[in-house]
Amino acid sequence: MPPRVQKHTRESKVRDIQKSLVRRARLRKDYFKALKEEGYTAPEKQESKTKRSYREVREQATAANRKKLDEKKEMKKLRGRMEYQKAQEKRKTELQKINEAKEREKQRNQRSKKVTQRTRSGQPLMGPKIEDLLSKIKADDTYTN
């Protein structure tokens, strides 16, 4: 059995591309000749409106990249500020919660001191207990009304 031969090696691909380019150029040239013979004017080559050098193109690209980078930096700064503000708000709410908890504990201690008062002989005082119950009822009434 003979060894397998690859149909498309790099050299054959290059050769095929060159053939197609040459054929296309020849067809174009023949087309323009035929137009000239028939009396038509051949369309002129369209050149870019502004011929730019490689350096100009590169400078524009770098300017665009710089602009994008600046926008990214601005967005990053904005995100950082927003995160900082969120963290500040979170700290503020946590501090409020802590202060409220301390205030509630302070009120609870004061209430318990009043309610647990005793006479010299060790009997509980009923006046502060009744006042506490009355204040609870009044507070509950304000919610129902």
Q: How far apart are CA 59 and CA 52, in angstroms?
A: 11
Q: Is residue 9 part of a domain?
A: no
Residue 129's Cβ-count burial label (10 Å; 0-12, 13-18, 19+) is: middle
**116: DSSP letter:** T
Which of the residue ranges 36-40, 58-62, 93-97 has the most confident prediction, judged by mean pLDDT?
93-97
Q: Is residue 7 part of a domain?
A: no
Which of residues 2 and 89 earns the better pLDDT score? 89
Q: Is residue 46 part of a domain?
A: no
- Structural domains counted in the chain: 1
- Expressed as residue numbers, the domain containing 127 is 16-41+57-140
pLDDT of 19-35, one tens digit each?
A: 999 999 999 999 988 88
The answer to whether 111 and 105 are in contact (CB under 8 A) is no
Question: In which residue are the tokens 């524009």 written?
Answer: 60
pLDDT of 80-123, one tens digit each?
A: 999 999 999 999 999 999 999 999 999 999 999 999 999 999 99
Backbone angles phi, psi at 120, to 5 degrees: -60, -35
